[in-house]
Amino acid sequence: MHLLPFHRRPLAISCFLGLLFGASFAQAATPQRHAFLAGQHAKNGIACAECHGKTRPVKVDDSEDGVNLSCVRCHGTLKEVGAKAQGHVNPHVSHLGDIHCTACHSGHQGSRVYCANCHGFELKIPFPSTSLATAQAAPKPPRPEALRQRERADVVVIGSGAAGMVAALTAHDAGAKVVVLEKQPITGGNSMLAAGGMNAAATRFQAKKGIQDSVELMVKDTLTGGKNLNEPALVKILAEQSAASVDYLTELGADLSDVGRMGGASVDRTHRPQGGKAVGAHIVDVLRANAAKRKLDVRVNSRAVRLLENRQGRITGVLVQGRHRGFYRIDAKAVVLAAGGFSANPDRVAHYQPAFRGMTSSNQPGATGDGLDLGATAGGVLKDMEQIQIHPSIAAGSRILITEAVRGNGAILVNRDGKRFVNEITTRDAASKATLAQPGQSAFMVFDEGVRQSLKQIDGYFHLELVKEGATPEALAAAIQVPPQALKDTIERYNQAVAAKADAEFKRPDLPRALATPKFYAIEVKPGVHYTMGGLKISPRTEVMAKDGQPIPGFFAAGEVTGGVHGANRLGGNSISETITFGRIAGAEAAAAARASAKP
């Protein structure tokens, strides 16, 4: 049948097509459904089939890939829509990368701006929802044996952050049939938000800059930062494999050529893209592109609800709840759990650390700790659960992390009296504690144009209007309401320390540049829940350990869902390093376990 272009198609034809293609159109055409996008499309003469395809009955896959292709066909790609849109904050141009339209826009229910999970700015969306919920409440799962919908894979990976995607790519490249499950409508997890960089020792990029570093020094810094609660064998792997992990990402297409410093490191070892761009969005883009190139089966809106096991205690698959498909099971020869931490779950955080109740968090909304329940229910041991990290610099009144790299590149922290109070690049626990002891329990991160120019990601804070400024230290002081003479004196004393290469007051070990280039800037920051060091106990081969001290067959874990690498306090930059290194190990081990279980 020859169809007229959408905008010229009469409603009668659309109604006919609606009847032909199933119930969705009829639902969309009821008065209540007209409130949503589907109804609007119907009013404009656009039939169900134009969005949903010409299958019968009308089906939407959990990832909503088909519907998204339809959105793109009519409206253009996200990039094209972003280029046309106007306004100071343009949600179609975002660090979340090339995400599906349906991450925000819904046809048959209220739409919600995904960015509003973290950002406070007002963004309009057609047919808004009043709720920010990103996943449906889980009805009681059925018994897995009763499920008729059943699939098979060699390896199922739970979580699409850096650890999960790297594990999946590695297992795929080792010949395994892999499925990646992600409960959120977008991939990337917290990894997508990573800012300051990825730590690695003795890399080719350090060598190019003449930076002397070693595996031993990275081990020492990590153990000291973690108060020696870390598992030394895991720390050794982290440091030993870190340079290879930088090379691995570089081979996949990442740029990690800029090297700076973060808290607790003895030398510059934090790798990030040139110019100091945020590391996470870049790495996730690269991992997504590699997954697409390999046609990896990555499913969003797909929550792992339970792990399946046989009578011998071997993990044999996953019970999944898909947004549209409902419950189904994937039988697998190995499962990699990479479901991240729980900093975005205030109740769970308060359970382990009552003092942190009510604090803001830097994390994405999916960081609720489901992985810990999945792992523990399957017999995994949890360790160090009360070790929760607060990051000293979340922009006051927001969930936006101001990367430690700003301090690493030269910013100082001052209190409301305009005075420094801490070595700004100490470990996070120490910097947070010192900040909470100041009047108002907050601080101002103060820097100049020189620091701004050294780190591209600072532009984002200006864009989000988080920065106050002044042409002189006194003018800045007036803007942030601290005593002008005190701030001027503080900056002068700091600059003298930089010139003398020694900070007698606070023993800051690295003084990269004086704060002397106007303008002068400040962001008010407060500590917020950032990272959960505790999690599933793993072996050096990423096997999940049971109470009897033995690994659970067929079950591997990597990334923030595990405990032991960081001890009592993680160093900035060590998590992305962990996700890549242990993601690679988990992927290889899971593929090997799948191969071994296939042997007669």
Residue 303 contact, options ligand SIN, ligand FAD, none, Cβ 5-8 Å cut-off depending on partner type: ligand FAD
Amino acid at 339: A
576 interacts with ligand FAD by CB under 6 A = yes
Q: Nearest CA to 564 among 587, 529, 584, 535?
A: 535
Q: What is the 3-state secondary structure (H, E, C) of 471-501?
A: CCHHHHHHHHCCCHHHHHHHHHHHHHHHHHC
191 interacts with ligand SIN by CB under 6 A = no
Task: Name the minimum Å distance from CB 452 to ligand SIN.
Answer: 16
Tokens of 253: 């297409």
531 interacts with ligand FAD by CB under 6 A = yes
Candidate list 144, 196, 225, 528; residue touching ligand SIN; CB under 6 A: 196
Residue 470 contact, options ligand FAD, ligand SIN, none, Cβ 5-8 Å cut-off depending on partner type: none
CA pair distance 240, 578, nearest whole angstrom: 11
Task: Name the minimum Å distance from CB 404 to ligand SIN.
Answer: 3
49: exposed, middle or buried (Cβ count in 10 Å: 0-12, 13-18, 19+)? buried
- Site map for ligand SIN, 549-578, x if CB under 6 A? -----------------------xx-x---
Strand 412-414, strand 443-448: pairing? antiparallel
Strand 270-272, strand 562-563: pairing? unpaired
339 interacts with ligand FAD by CB under 6 A = yes
Residue 180 contact, options ligand FAD, ligand SIN, none, Cβ 5-8 Å cut-off depending on partner type: none
CA pair distance 513, 275, nearest whole angstrom: 16
62 interacts with ligand FAD by CB under 6 A = no
Q: With respect to ligand SIN, which residue has the nearer C-beta, 21 or 342?
A: 342
Is 428 noted as a catalytic residue in this protein?
A: yes
How long a stretch of residues is the chain? 600
Phi and psi for 558 in degrees, rounded to 5? -150, 155
CA pair distance 114, 190, nearest whole angstrom: 14
The arrangement of strands across the sheet holding 562-563 comes to 382-383, 535-537, 562-563
Which residue is it, tokens 């179609």?
Answer: 92
Q: With respect to ligand FAD, which residue has the nearer C-beta, 38 or 319?
A: 319
All residues at 6 or more sequence positions from 329 whose CB lies less than 8 Å from its CB, including other chains: 144, 147, 149, 150, 151, 308, 317, 318, 319, 320
Q: With respect to ligand SIN, which residue has the nearer C-beta, 206 or 270?
A: 270
195 interacts with ligand SIN by CB under 6 A = yes
String of DSSP letters for 131-164: ----SPPPPPPPPGGG---EEEEEEEEE--SHHH
Q: Nearest CA to 62 among 154, 179, 174?
A: 179
**Degrees (nearest 5) of the Cα angle 410, 93, 532?**
55
Contact 119, 394 (CB under 8 A): no
Instruction: Return the residues of window 263-282 that contact ligand FAD according to CB under 6 A.
Output: 279-280
Of the residues 428, 452, 508, 570, only one is catalytic, namely: 428
Bridge partners (DSSP) listed for residue 524 = 444
CA pair distance 498, 514, nearest whole angstrom: 6
Candidate list 18, 264, 317, 366; residue touching ligand FAD; CB under 6 A: 366
159 interacts with ligand FAD by CB under 6 A = yes
Size of the site for ligand FAD (CB under 6 A): 43
Which residue stretch of 30-38, 521-529, 571-579, 585-593 sits at the interface with ligand FAD (rule: CB under 6 A)?
A: 571-579
Task: Name the minimum Å distance from CB 63 to ligand FAD.
Answer: 12
Instruction: Return the residues of window 22-41 that contact ligand FAD according to CB under 6 A.
Output: none
Task: Name the minimum Å distance from CB 343 to ligand FAD.
Answer: 7
560 interacts with ligand FAD by CB under 6 A = yes
Which run of H or of E encompasses 337? Answer: strand 326-337
Residue 163 contact, options ligand FAD, ligand SIN, none, Cβ 5-8 Å cut-off depending on partner type: ligand FAD
Task: Name the minimum Å distance from CB 194 to ligand FAD.
Answer: 3
Instruction: Return the residues of window 371-430 that contact ligand SIN according to CB under 6 A.
Output: 401, 403-405
Which residue sits closest to ligand SIN, CB atoms considered? 196
The residues assigned a catalytic role are 428
Name the residues that contact ligand SIN, by CB under 6 A.
Answer: 195-196, 401, 403-405, 572-573, 575
Name the residues that contact ligand FAD, by CB under 6 A.
Answer: 158-164, 181-184, 189-191, 193-198, 279-280, 303-304, 338-340, 362-363, 366-367, 370-371, 401, 531, 559-561, 573-576, 579
